[in-house]
Homo-oligomer: A and B are copies of this chain.
């Protein structure tokens, strides 16, 4: 099947089989190979650039072939997210510093999403049912429990925390995509450009209609993604402590 040809490349003699040619080696397809390619493409080019077609092409076939191994794009996304969730490593709960550990887990999740830009889009609305996402949820719950958080609050908090991390990752990706589009169109679009433009816009607002925004342009545009993310997870974790303590006080 694999027709072989021999080329003379400078001083080298190179033997090439048709299977080695451009599209891909012709191995058997499998769920895992499909997910491997999807994950690799997402890592390299972001969620937007990955499609049933782009995956199929890299596997040397057409998009229809994938449907023998994967129900649809939605299921494929779940499988990819599952792999990504496994990357956030999770600490053994220590009641002394459960809150810091919780935050570390969330940072790890954000880092895993960031490694595959845009992937977090697929987690919005996803109910954790696969291995990796379950492990993450279990770990978040374990940390909450180590902190003495009531079960019901821990369960809801695990959801809210994961949702917040995902939405931050999605927002970041929107900016990245906009940057790409701007770059392709030859427009300047560094982070500083955008921040400067927003700052100027806020300052230019009518002071009678927007007294706060116009006077606080500085504060509104202060802080990079990291600082804002830290603020967000701190709000949530401190809020969780407060709500939990309030409930405990009510019961006593």
Q: Indicate how many identical chains form the complex.
A: 2
Given contacts A156-B223, A213-B138, A216-B151, contact A239 B228 (CB under 8 A): no
A160/B205 in contact, CB under 8 A: no
A138/B210 in contact, CB under 8 A: yes
Residue A18 lies at the interface, judged by CB distance under 8 Å to chain B: no
Tell me the A175-206 residues at the B interface (CB within 8 Å): 175, 178, 194, 198, 201, 205
Residue A241 lies at the interface, judged by CB distance under 8 Å to chain B: yes
Which residues of the other chain, B, contact A216 by a CB distance below 8 angstroms? 141, 151, 155
Q: What size tier do the contact residues of chain A reach? A: 35 or more
Tell me the A51-85 residues at the B interface (CB within 8 Å): none
- Binary CB contact string for chain A from 122 to 144 against chain B (1 if under 8 A, 0 otherwise): 00111101000010011001100
Which residues of the other chain, B, contact A164 by a CB distance below 8 angstroms? 160, 163-164, 167
